[in-house]
Amino acid sequence: MFRSVGPNPAPAAHSTTPPPKNASPDENNNHRRRCAPATVGNGVVSDDFLESLPPKRSKRAADSIKSAWKRHLTHIANTDQKRHFKEYRSTHEHYRTLVYEPENTDIYPLRKQERDKWIFFCSPAKRPTLRYPIVALPAVAEAEQSETAREAEKVATVQGRFKEVLVSDKRFIALCPVAAGTFDHRDEKRLDPLRAIASLVFSAVINGKLIIARNAGTTLFDYLAEGGQLPMTVFQALVRDVDCLHALPLRGGAFVRDIKLENTCIRLPAGEPLPPGPLPSAQLIDFEDDVLFGDELLQLRPEHARGTRECQTDALMQDLYAGPAAGRSAAANALDLYGLLLMMVAATAPPGSDLQRAALCEHRQVPELDVHPGAMHDGNQALFKPWIEAHVQDGHAEDVRQLLTDPAMFARQHPERLILAPMLRFAESTTPSSCARSNS
Ligand SMILES: Nc1ncnc2c1ncn2[C@@H]1O[C@H](COP(=O)(O)OP(=O)(O)O)[C@@H](O)[C@H]1O
Ligand SMILES: [Mg+2]
Q: What percent of the chain has pLDDT over 70?
A: 76
Rg for the chain, CA atoms, rounded:
24
Mutating to test ligand 1, I would choose from 286, 287, 311 the residue with most ligand atoms within 8 A of its C-beta, which is: 286
Lowest mean pLDDT among 111-120, 147-156, 291-300, 372-381: 147-156
Ligand 1 atom, smallest distance to 4 CA: 23
Residue 87: pLDDT over 70: yes
CB of 205 sitting under 6 A from ligand 1: no
Residue 192: pLDDT over 50: yes
Cβ-count burial 222-247 (b if 16+ within 10 Å, e if not): bbbeeebbbebbbbbbbbbbbbbbbe
Mean pLDDT across 131-142: 56
Residue 48: pLDDT over 70: no
Ligand 1 atom, smallest distance to 262 CA: 25
What distances in angstroms separate CA 174 from CA 83, 110, 144, 154, 408, one per listed residue? 21, 23, 20, 11, 37
CB of 268 sitting under 6 A from ligand 1: no
Mean pLDDT across 319-342: 98
Q: Please give the full DSSP string across 392-427, using - where no structure is assigned.
A: B-TT-HHHHHHHHH-HHHHHHH-GGG---GGGB--T
CB of 404 sitting under 6 A from ligand 1: no
Distance CA 300, CA 322 (A): 8
Strands of the 264-266 sheet, one edge to the other? 218-219, 264-266, 283-284
What confidence category does residue 84 fall into, taking pLDDT thresholds of 50, 70 and 90?
A: confident
Query: Cα 412 vs. chain centroid, distance in angstroms?
Result: 29
Domains for the chain: give ranges and CATH numbers: 67-199+205-211 (no CATH), 217-423 (1.10.510)
Distance CA 169, CA 214 (A): 9
**H or E segment to which residue 147 belongs:** helix 147-152
Distance CA 197, CA 189 (A): 15
Distance CA 51, CA 31 (A): 29
Distance CA 13, CA 9 (A): 12
| Nearest ligand, CA 216 | 1
pLDDT of residue 16: 33
**Using an 8 Å Cβ cutoff, are 152 and 126 in contact?**
no
Write phi, then psi, for 272 (nearest 5 degrees): -125, 150
Mutating to test ligand 1, I would choose from 157, 163, 260 the residue with most ligand atoms within 8 A of its C-beta, which is: 163
Residue 337: count other Cβ atoms within 10 Å of its Cβ: 25
Residue nearest ligand 1's atom 23 by CA: 160
pLDDT of residue 136: 47
Q: Which of 71, 64, 32, 35 is nearest to 50 (CA)?
A: 64
What confidence category does residue 28 fall into, taking pLDDT thresholds of 50, 70 and 90?
A: low
- With a CB cutoff of 8 Å and minimum separation 6, the contacts of 190 are 12, 13, 14, 15
**Using an 8 Å Cβ cutoff, are 50 and 58 in contact?**
yes
Distance CA 19, CA 25 (A): 11
Output the CA 30–ligand 1 centroid distance in Å: 17
Residue 279: pLDDT over 90: yes
Ligand 1 atom, smallest distance to 214 CA: 1
Write phi, then psi, for 139 (nearest 5 degrees): -65, -40
pLDDT of residue 219: 97
Ligand 1 atom, smallest distance to 178 CA: 22
Distance CA 322, CA 352 (A): 37
Beta-strand ranges (E) seen in 215-357 are 218-219, 254-255, 264-266, 283-284, 292-293, 307-308
Angle between helices 325-348 and 236-246 (to 10 degrees): 180
| Nearest ligand, CA 184 | 1
What distances in angstroms separate CA 228 from CA 42, 134, 271, 350, 384, one per listed residue? 41, 31, 6, 9, 19
CB of 283 sitting under 6 A from ligand 1: no
Q: What percent of the chain has pLDDT over 90?
A: 62
Q: What length does the chain have?
A: 440
Output the CA 242–ligand 1 centroid distance in Å: 19
Residue 188: count other Cβ atoms within 10 Å of its Cβ: 18
Ligand 1 atom, smallest distance to 222 CA: 27
User: 142-190 pLDDT, tens per residue?
Assistant: 544 554 444 444 444 688 889 999 888 889 999 999 988 999 999 999 9
Name the pairing type of β-strands 96-98 and 118-122.
antiparallel
Ligand 1 atom, smallest distance to 201 CA: 1
Output the CA 160–ligand 1 centroid distance in Å: 6
pTM, 2 dp:
0.82
Q: Please state, rounded to an integer, the average pLDDT across all residues of the chain.
A: 83
What confidence category does residue 83 fall into, taking pLDDT thresholds of 50, 70 and 90?
A: confident
Output the CA 383–ligand 1 centroid distance in Å: 31
Output the CA 160–ligand 2 centroid distance in Å: 5
Residue 439: pLDDT over 50: no
Residue nearest ligand 1's atom 10 by CA: 165
Write phi, then psi, for 129 (nearest 5 degrees): -60, 140
Write phi, then psi, for 176 (nearest 5 degrees): -120, 165
| Nearest ligand, CA 211 | 1
Ligand 1 atom, smallest distance to 217 CA: 4
pLDDT of residue 135: 55
User: 289-310 pLDDT, tens per residue?
Assistant: 999 999 999 999 999 999 999 9
What confidence category does residue 21 fall into, taking pLDDT thresholds of 50, 70 and 90?
A: very low
Distance CA 286, CA 140 (A): 28
Mutating to test ligand 1, I would choose from 3, 258, 265 the residue with most ligand atoms within 8 A of its C-beta, which is: 265
Output the CA 17–ligand 2 centroid distance in Å: 26
Cβ-count burial 27-52 (b if 16+ within 10 Å, e if not): ebbbbbbeeeeeeeeeeeeeeeeeee
| Nearest ligand, CA 165 | 1
Name the pairing type of β-strands 163-168 and 203-207.
unpaired
Output the CA 237–ligand 1 centroid distance in Å: 20
Output the CA 179–ligand 2 centroid distance in Å: 16
